[in-house]
Amino acid sequence: MRNSGPFRSVLIFGGAGFIGSNWAHHLLRNTDAQVHVFDNLSRQGVTQNLADLRKAAGNSGRLKITIGDVRDYELVNRVVSTATDIFNFAAQVAVTTSIDDPRHDFEVNLGGTFNILEAARLSGNRPFLLFTSTNKVYGDMRSEPLSSTRWRHEYTKETGTSESQPLDFHSPYGCSKGAADQYVRDYARIYDLPTVVFRMSCIAGARQFGNEDQGWVAHFLYSALLDNPLFIYGDGRQVRDVLCVEDLVHAFEAVRANLKRTAGEIYNVGGGVENTVSLLELLREIKRFTGCEVRYQFCAARPGDQLAYITDYSKLTQHTGWRPRVSVRGTLERIHDWWLNHRDLFDPQAPVEAPTAADLQEVREAA
């Protein structure tokens, strides 16, 4: 059912990516909001995502697309000026890439976020701003006591990681995202911007093009379906809590609807204790679900990898009533259904995507 209410102009940085396109699609289908997608089209699948969003928007005139980079302050300032809601998903997302090119990681994750914050501050409109951070801001958490079995590592404590966990940045990626989330929080305190930070665990679901650096749940499933071998870094007993992107979208709604309580806050967001899985356990579940054996080999552990991370999302529940609804199995089913309808996108012989003529026209119109 479509929600009506005060006029909303929602600007989504990284709006053609996995999380951004799911959020944009939800807004177009379920609200009357104007949706402005800002993306540099650097990620796999974004052209298809834009096509899907255009289809969802139809002839409503509610979708605008700007092809640009968050490092371009003048362009960022222009698009922010009329927004009532801003969602910053634009990021360099891989720890490995941040180690190889820390300057690029810094300029996108911290510099880009700073550009958005400054544009929001100077607009004078006090737009709502949500920034997606990461559990990597808590470091490798090796000081947390663990117990281990054949299949998994896990905390000896029964609850997950809360927002009171000390920050401990490991890797340039952890530094850039952690510094950015502190800037977002401070702009709420110093400039009275209604901002919210989500420190997220493993997000998975439809429209995700997973690889070994990001989106590992989808990557493991696609590898099984396509009979592609994969590498497991470490012993495979690393544990994460999985959150379906559908539940994340509902979390976005929840904090926006409860802004008097949520403005200026930081929330750990994930599937929680009830949705944990290790790498080895996921491979076993994929075999049960698909009947496909996953071929893999072990490699050395990556620097800064957490042996276990499980989200304590109780603060978000207390403030908004939100909690996850989709199980790990349900998330796998959603990814699988989406893959079945988009198998051509995974054809290794398919041509490399390029911006369409319509996309390039939108660049000129935005300039």
Taking the C-alpha atoms of residue 9 and residue 27, their distance in angstroms, rounded to an integer, is 11
Nearest to 199 by CA among 266, 262, 251: 266
Q: Which domains does the chain carry?
A: 9-347+358-366 (3.40.50.720)
Copy the structure tokens of residue 76: 């960022």
Binning pLDDT at 50, 70 and 90, where does residue 3 land? low
Q: Which residue has the higher pLDDT, 350 or 46?
A: 46
Using 50, 70 and 90 to split pLDDT, how confident is the model at 348?
low
Q: What pLDDT digit, counting tens, does each position of 264-309 carry?
A: 999 999 999 999 999 999 999 999 999 998 899 999 998 778 899 9
Please give the model's pTM, rounded to 2 decimal places.
Answer: 0.92
How far, in Å, CA of 255 to CA of 260, rounded? Answer: 9
Amino acid at 353: E
> Residue 160 and residue 155: Cα distance in Å, rounded?
8
Using the structure block, give the residue that is written with the tokens 């990461």. 134
Is residue 197 pLDDT above 80, yes or no? yes
Predicted pLDDT at 213 = 80
CA 312, 314, 315, 320 torsion-angle sign: positive
Question: Which pLDDT band holds residue 360 (cuts at 50, 70, 90)?
Answer: very low
Whether residue 352 is predicted with pLDDT greater than 60 in this model: the reply is no
Q: Which residues contact 101 (CB under 8 A, 6 or more apart)?
A: none
Instruction: Using alpha carbons, select from 217, 246, 221 the residue that is nearest to residue 336.
Output: 221
Q: What is the mean pLDDT of residues 45-52?
A: 89
Indicate the pLDDT class of residue 1, thresholds 50, 70 and 90. very low
Q: Is 296 a known active-site residue?
A: no
pLDDT of 245 over the 70 cut: yes
Give me 184's structure tokens: 């977002």
Judged against a pLDDT cut of 60, whether residue 203 lies above it is answered with yes
| pLDDT of res. 331 | 98
Range of weakest confidence among 125-129, 146-150, 325-329: 146-150
Half-sphere exposure of 137 (CA within 13 A, CB side): 26
Q: Catalytic: which of 138, 155, 173, 309?
A: 173
**Residue 170: predicted pLDDT:** 87
Coil vs helix vs strand at 42: coil
Q: Output the CA angle 304-310-312, nearest 5 degrees.
A: 125
